[in-house]
Amino acid sequence: MITISMLRPPRPLLFIANHRSGVPCSSANIGPGFDVIGLALSVYLELQVTFASTSPRLPLNCTITYEGQGAGEVDLVADRNLITRTALYVLRCHGQHAFPCGTHVHIINPIPLGRGLGSSGAAVVAGVMLGSEIGKLGLAKPRILDFCLMIERHPDNVAAALYGGFVGTYLNELDPEDMARKEIPLSEVLPAPAGGEDTGLSPPEPPLGIGHYIKFQWAPEIKAVAIIPDFEVSTAKARKVLPESYSRKDVTFNMQRLALLTTALGQSPPDPNLIYQAMQDKVHQPYRKRLIPGLTEILQSVTPSSHRGLLGICLSGAGPTILALATENFEKIATSIVKRFGQEGITCEWKLLEPAEDGATVAKT
Ligand SMILES: Nc1ncnc2c1ncn2[C@@H]1O[C@H](COP(=O)(O)OP(=O)(O)O)[C@@H](O)[C@H]1O
Ligand SMILES: N[C@@H](CCOP(=O)(O)O)C(=O)O
């Protein structure tokens, strides 16, 4: 949830604000669903937004404070921080060239950065919702998705974070003019970083209906064990190692599994043999193994027969986090993966997570 309030210090006013609300993290791909499926999970980015009645004039009228993952490394300048930069993009598309006077955004981020748990997707969703709220734009979720997709261009994380639950997504075939607008370089979409003067011109607005999503069922007994290594793999780097084209055999392999997986994860009781096989992938994981020591061995050695309760295992998003879906025996499953990473000299933490059904929420106080 995002909480907003009018005076500082009293209470945060806009956005997001208890342990079960905010913008959830997400695990994309779930094996074969590269750039297609995503699962929102129960770790939430929060923003607390306040407006001071009097404050010194700042270039963009916005100050930022930050706690949690990435504190000390995340930029706290309004036109460089991903969340506020995104909010500025939304505001500028609507003729507002700065934040309202005295805006203060406090970011509470428990989502680890660059680990494949959708921290950037959550930040972009939070930024678009922030822009919509403080600009009093009243954007509905489908339009919020359009704005998100101008910035994070694969739809799986942002749709999961925005709508919650287990989602499938696609990008629409737009007419050539809209397609060109959607593909405008990011540097022209987001406002110029500090030093760059605001030209007063509006940035490119997103075309209508860039992406589409649908929510699938999720069997209530299935939990997600996230094993999070202590190193980052940026999504951009993990996309660069992928090939430009694939063989028909590999594409068919993934499509066959993906079609079954989306139904299999909604069935109670879940069928471990079906899910384990349906979570195999030939499109991204084999290429990403060179960025993640031990990945192949972990994916091959943790199975429903070796680990009671396990349903399936995959790379979470672009990695390096491993996502194990299971119905029981969570600690044993997690510790054996932590141990295997340990053999590569990599330490990890692990978390037992649940689907975040509600997606992104805003609260006004
Ligand atoms: N809460 C946040 N505030 C500002 N920037 C963020 C936040 N979360 C993520 N980011 C930005 O996104 C980057 C990570 O994105 P990415 O490489 O896509 O990894 P992932 O989304 O898998 O965590 C961070 O290095 C940071 O620049
Ligand atoms: N489909 C994308 C998902 C990236 O997710 P992230 O959480 O690592 O940002 C990909 O696999 O590149």
Answer whether 320's CB lies under 8 Å from 116's CB: yes
- Identify the pLDDT of residue 15: 53
Q: Which of 362, 340, 278 is nearest to 314 (CA)?
A: 278
Which pLDDT value is given to residue 191? 67
Q: Tell me how many degrees the CA angle 361-362-365 measures, rounded to the nearest 5.
A: 145
pLDDT band at 13 (very low <50, low <70, confident <90, very high): very low
**Ligand 2 in contact with 28 (CB < 6 A)?**
yes
| 334 Cβ contact partners less than 8 Å away, ≥ 6 residues apart | 225, 227, 324, 350, 352
Q: Which of 118, 142, 157, 146 is nearest to 35 (CA)?
A: 157
pLDDT band for position 52 (cuts 50, 70, 90): confident
Ligand 2 in contact with 293 (CB < 6 A)?
Answer: no
Average pLDDT value over all residues in the chain? 91
Report CA(351)–ligand 1 centroid distance (Å).
Answer: 19
| Sheet of strand 322-326, all strands in order from the earlier edge strand to the far edge | 310-315, 322-326, 223-229, 348-353
Report the percentage of the chain scoring pLDDT > 90: 82
User: What mean pLDDT comes out for the span 92-102?
Assistant: 94
Closest Cα to residue 225, out of 95, 125, 84, 331?
A: 331
- 276-283 mean pLDDT: 98
pTM: 0.94
- Ordered structural domains, the chain, with CATH: 19-213 (3.30.230.10), 220-353 (3.30.70.890)
> Does residue 11 surpass a pLDDT of 70?
no
Answer yes or no: is the C-beta of 120 below 6 A from any ligand 2 atom.
yes
pLDDT class for 365, splitting at 50, 70, 90?
confident
Q: Which of 26, 27, 29 to mutate to test the pocket of ligand 2 (most atoms within 8 A of CB)?
A: 29
Residues 81, 140, 3, 202, CA torsion sign: positive
Q: Is the CB of 26 under 6 A from ligand 1?
A: no
pLDDT greater at residue 277 or residue 203: 277
What is the residue whose two structure tokens read 């879940």?
270
pLDDT for the residue numbered 232: 98
pLDDT at residue 21, as a whole number = 63
Question: What does the DSSP 8-state code read for residue 202?
Answer: P
Interval 228-273: pLDDT, tens? 999 999 999 999 999 999 999 999 999 999 999 999 999 999 999 9
DSSP class of residue 31 equals: T
pLDDT for position 190: 78
- Residue 199 banded pLDDT, cuts 50, 70, 90: low
Return the amino acid letter for 10: P
DSSP letter assigned to residue 290: G
Expressed in angstroms and rounded, the spacing between residue 68 Cα and the centre of ligand 2 is: 21
**Residue 114, ligand 1, Cβ within 6 A:** yes
DSSP state of 239: H
